Structure 1
Amino acid sequence: MFSIYVSILNKNNKIIVITLFIIALILRLIALGSSSLIFKGSNVNRDFEYGVIARSIIKGKGYSVPINEFNKQSLTEKNGKQKIHSDSFISDGNTQMADFIKFKQTGQYRPSANQLPFYPLFLSIFFYFSTNPFSYWIIKFLQAIISSLTCIVIYLIALKIFNKKAAIVAGFISAFYPVFVLYSIKIVPESIFTFWFSLSVLYLFIFKENPSFKNSVISGCLIGITLLNSNVIVPAMPFIFLWIFLIQVKRNDKFKRTLFIFLIAILFVSPWIARNYLVFGSFPLMKSTAGLNLWIGNNPKATGTFFLQTGESMDSILPNSFYEGLKNYEMDKDKELYKIAISYIKNNPIPTLKIFFKKFIYFLWFPPDNIISKDVKQLKKILKFPYGIFLLSCIIGFIFSLKKYFTDTILLFFIILSITGLYSIFFVGHLRFRMPIEPYLIIFSSYTISAISDRIAFRHFKRK
């Protein structure tokens, strides 16, 4: 991994990169040290369904989750005001929701494809030795390092596409970016996923400059690893491989190299797909939550987020049969919800189209206060104004970079568009779900800031 950085840096860039990494890491360690204050009132070590699966693995139960008997009426917080999200359908008694959800542990387990394997397997490595608070601290510390490395990757992508000044701006925006800092110290997969995805994009640009066999293999490997982190990049894959095909100069190499990278990526993902086919009888299957997620975003009371207009969770209007189905086989109930959602979409095309565009805006901006969580509402108050300026500079940067850097810019544009489009079809969730596209928003923003800086410097020089 570090050879990637070293091979494309000269001496001056190495100094910048080291400085960038140190600043980014210090900021994340400060946040880690004070996390109990930052996330006051919440369980800082809550590991959601990722931790549940990880503990099942180390118990020798395989990639599975406990079978619990839920009381739907009890799925509320202690104060009874707000329902929880469907993450809590999966619990083993070691997560925060166990304090207030009434469910009966049966002691039995069922296979699951609720989450992609990379992050639960990552957690299981540490949980194998211990599940005490120190293990969680080590996980967060490593995530802080990985998030700091992501800042370097963003710097290098901007350096490949634009110029050194824009790269420096992009790197330091990434280092200080609040969402990157905050979620690097929570037990969620986005920091690691964002790292692998941005590294894949960086290597696509390296491959463009030098389409060697080695770079083809590395590009395919990185894409494959990224897919094992999250399937939200699946809609971006056609655009990525079309881009790889079109950038080839030699006609004979176009199909061959594109297919080779694709096959390498599939090689990484195939064991997971094969496992799911053998267990669930569905092919291809990356995750088993497509139906639930589609239904949350497409039903008569859908708002575009987890929440109803009243502030309650969408879970509160799920059919009782869904909860009963979780005792046995998660795929059946997911398929049932998928059919219900598709039927609603077909019968209500205009409302579906309207809410699609709402979700598109919500994903790139912020949803209304009544349909977001308290944590996101607090962050929205802090970030709304600076993020608005940031987003505007991103749009300007994209427009002005199209003419001069069309080939590279269009790849980043379709990555942003495809992931935003995916969430617009399903639903807009946590603020962290936007993290995978934010490196490229930052890069476009940095181009605007760099251009403005150059314009000011030029005018100052002319006056002299």
Structure 2
Amino acid sequence: MKWKRENVDKKLNLNFLEREKNFLAILFIAALLVRLCVIFMFTTGAELLDGPDQRYFNESALNILKGEGYHYKVLQPDQHTGPDGDSLSFRVPLTSIFLAGIYSVFGHSYGAVRIIQAILSALVCLVIYFITKKIMDSKSARIAGVISILYYGLIAPILFLFKEILFGFFLVVAILYLLKIDESNGRRNQIIAGITLGLSALTASFTLIFPGFILIWLFEKYRNFKKAILTFLFILIPFLLVLTPWVIRNYRIHHVFILSATEGGFGFWVGNNPWAKGCADSANLDFSKYAHLSEVEKNKAYYKEGLKYLLSAHPFRIAKLCSLKILTALYPFLPVYDFSYALIFPFWLWGMWLGIKSRKKNGLLLYIFLNLLIVVAVFEGEPRMRESFSPYMIVFAAVAVSHFFEKERLKR
């Protein structure tokens, strides 16, 4: 009787987990609990903002709350600011607006920021499940969901005032709705995809070139010029409308057209100079000769410096530098940065290979990585840059794991 009862209990438990709603509820709760535990274990209450990124986002958010508008001012002008020490458009604004919204409700609380970022990160786990299910099947989706619960690249950024969590959230939502553009609410899904893609571009400039890849993907998907263009317009127009207020604001302040931010020139020069070896290297660069220039003029000057070096460098050196940037960004053996990435790295590469073989189904996700590789090759390579793209690494790793188990099953 006891043996029968245990079997019945096991079947009930399996049936409970096999129901998608139950699995998703457990997935979200487990992911959130892991993230809340990390916050509890690794925050001491000493609210130190190390690094320029956190200081920038925090101070610019506080300036918004003070009614001063979006800007970041330092006492000593540096390579990012104008001669007066003020930076008005160095970074795209949505992370600062996000922080300002949290501060306005909960006060100047980093704990509140971390908890809300933990919720967004847990929601990303659900979206990863739906993306994997859309391009593969429920089995692969469950594997992806389980991996995402403990994946370091989705957890570590919640402790900091970085852009990665917010950017990653908007981007996965955009990808999910792009995959749903042929469903019954296709036009609505296209518009939502365009809006969320625009929001991602206002959080990090990575995705400014991604609409071009979407157009290529649509041509491959439909093999119909008119349908591809019409669908693309329903995505592109909302994308551009989301960016429009920021572009207008920049034009009113700087009297020039700035689609994203003025940080591009800095990233381009520190990644393309005689001393660069893949990651950013600014130790030997002479920024002082441009100290008198405005923020916008510095951006242009830095681009010219980087371009001047590339035009003078040997093609082999340029190819080597681009390769080093990509290798630096994707290097898996930095456990202090992302140990879980090293664990899934071979499965991700295998999954990418399987994705290339069935490109019609997985093309959009492949273009996400092509987008990342181009940005890294042009600017600089940093391991942190891959964190926002980790959901798609998890998707392909799950596809490979599922494929492996299926092959083993067929052998028996």
The one-letter code of the counterpart of 2:91 is Q
Matches of 1:393 and 1:301 in 2, distance apart?
34
Deviation track 1:3-46 (CA, whole Å, cap 9, x = no partner) reads xxxxxxx9921111111101100110000001236x99965898
Which residue in the other structure is 2:359 paired with? 406
1:267, 1:407 → 2: CA distance?
Answer: 29
Query: 2:28 aligned to 15, 18, 21, which one?
Result: 21
CA drift at 1:411: 1.5
Give the alignment partner of residue 321 of structure 1, picking from 289, 292, 296. 289
Structure 2 counterpart of 1:30, one-letter code: C
Corresponding residue number in structure 2 for 1:365 = 331
Do 2:201 and 2:207's aligned partners in 1 also have CA atoms closer than 8 Å? yes
1:125 aligns with 2:90: no
| Counterpart position of 1:93 | none
1:418 and 2:384 matched: no
Report the AA paired with residue 128 of structure 2. Answer: I
Please tell me whether residue 143 in structure 1 is matched to residue 117 in structure 2.
yes
Q: Does the aligned pair in 2 maintain the 1:36–1:44 contact within 8 Å?
A: no
Whole-Å separation in 1 of the counterparts to 2:171 and 2:118: 17
Aligned to 1:182: 156
Identify the match of residue 258 of structure 1 among 219, 232, 252.
Answer: 232
CA deviations 1:177-227 (Å, max 9, x no partner) are 012111122111101111110110011111134463222222222222222
> Cα 1:211–1:407, aligned 2, differ >3 Å: closer, same or farther?
farther
**Structure 2 contact 173–193 (Cα < 8 Å) conserved:** no
Q: Is the 8 A contact 1:193 1:230 kept in 2?
A: yes
Aligned residue number for residue 10 of structure 2: none
The match for 2:61 is: 54
Say whether 1:455 aligns with 2:404.
no
1:314-393 alignment to 2 at 5 Å? 314-315=282-283, 317-322=285-290, 324-325=291-292, 329-348=294-313, 349-365=315-331, 379-380=336-337, 383=339, 387-393=341-347
Mapped partners of 2:259, 2:299: distance in 1: 12
Contact conserved, 1:356 with 1:425, CA < 8 A, in 2?
Answer: yes
Distance across 1 between alignment mates of 2:310 and 2:225: 42
Find the aligned partners of 1:378 and 1:444 in 2 and give their Cα distance.
21
Distance in 2 (CA, whole Å) between partners of 1:285 and 1:318 is 27
1:80 match? none
Write the mapping of 1:59-74 to structure 2, written as runs, cut at 5 A.
Answer: 59-70=66-77
Q: Structure 1, residues 285-304: CA drift from partner, whole Å, max 9, x if none?
A: 30101111111001111122
Aligned residue for 1:128, secondary structure, equals helix
Equivalent of 1:173 in 147, 163, 183: 147
Amino acid at match of 2:57: Y
Partner of 1:253: helix, strand, or coil? helix
**How many angstroms does 1:251 deviate by?**
5.6
Give the Cα–Cα distance (whole angstroms) in 1 for the partners of residues 308 and 356 of structure 2: 40
- After TM superposition, the score normalised by the length of structure 1 is 0.78
Q: What residue identity is the alignment partner of 1:208?
A: D
Structure-2 change in CA distance of 1:65 and 1:388 (3 Å): closer
State the shift of 1:320 in Å.
1.8
Please state if 1:303 is matched with 2:277. Answer: yes
Q: Report the AA paired with residue 158 of structure 1.
A: T
Residue 248 of structure 1: CA displacement?
3.8
Query: Alignment partner of 2:140: what SS?
Result: helix
Q: What 5-or-longer segments of structure 2 have no aligned partner?
A: 1-16
Question: Would you say 1:289 and 2:272 are equivalent positions?
Answer: no
Instruction: State the shift of 1:129 in Å.
Output: 5.4
3-state SS, counterpart of residue 76 of structure 2:
strand
**Cα distance, 1:340–1:316 mapped onto 2, change above 3 Å:** closer
Distance 1:354-1:184 versus aligned 2 partners, 3 A rule: same
Q: Which residue of 1 aligns with 2:385?
A: 433
Distance in 2 of aligned mates of 1:245 and 1:273? 29
1:110/1:329 contact within 8 Å kept: no
Q: Which moved more, 1:39-48 or 1:241-250?
A: 39-48
Superposed displacement of residue 409, structure 1: 1.4
Say if 1:366 and 1:283 are closer, same or farther in 2 by CA, change over 3 A: farther
CA–CA distance in structure 1, aligned partners of residues 408 and 228 of structure 2: 43
In 1, are the aligned partners of 2:194 and 2:238 still within 8 Å (CA)? yes
Q: After superposition, what is the alpha-carbon deviation per residue over 1:113-137, rounded to whole angstroms, capped at 9, x for unaligned?
A: 11111110011123335654xx111
Does structure 1 residue 227 correspond to structure 2 residue 179? Answer: no
- Name the SS of the counterpart of 1:114 in structure 2: coil
> Kindly, what percent of the aligned residue pairs are identical?
25
Distance 1:63 1:194, change over 3 A: same
Alignment partners' CA distance in 2, 1:378 and 1:282: 43
Q: Does residue 1:268 correspond to 2:237, yes or no?
A: no
* 2-structure distance, mates of 1:127, 1:389: 37
Is the Cα–Cα contact under 8 Å of residues 111 and 279 in structure 1 kept in the other structure?
no
Q: Deviations over 1:386-438 (max 9, x none)?
A: 534422111211222333x4223122111101212211211123x33212221
Task: Provide the residue aligned with 2:132 in structure 1.
Answer: 158
In the alignment, which of 152, 158, 176 is matched to residue 202 of structure 1? Answer: 176
Secondary structure at the aligned position of 2:256 is classed as coil
Letter in 1 for 2:302: L
1:59–1:43 distance in 2 versus 1, CA, 3 Å: closer
Question: Which blocks of at least 5 consecutive residues in structure 1 are unaligned?
Answer: 1-9, 73-85, 91-105, 308-313, 368-376
Structure 1 residues 111 and 43: CA distance shift in structure 2, 3 A: closer
Q: Quote the residue 2:12 is aligned against.
A: none
Quickly say closer, same or farther: Cα 1:343–1:51, change in 2 above 3 A.
same
Two-structure CA RMSD over aligned residues (Å): 2.8
Show the counterpart of 1:97.
none
Q: How many residues are treated as equivalent by the alignment?
A: 393
Counterpart of 1:51, as a letter, is N
Q: Distance in 2 between matches of 1:296 and 1:251?
A: 41
Instruction: Give the match for residue 238 of structure 1.
Output: 212
In the TM superposition, what is the alpha-carbon distance from 1:233 to its structure 2 partner?
A: 1.3
Sort the Cα spacing of 1:187 and 1:457 in 2 relative to 1 into closer, same or farther, 3 A: same
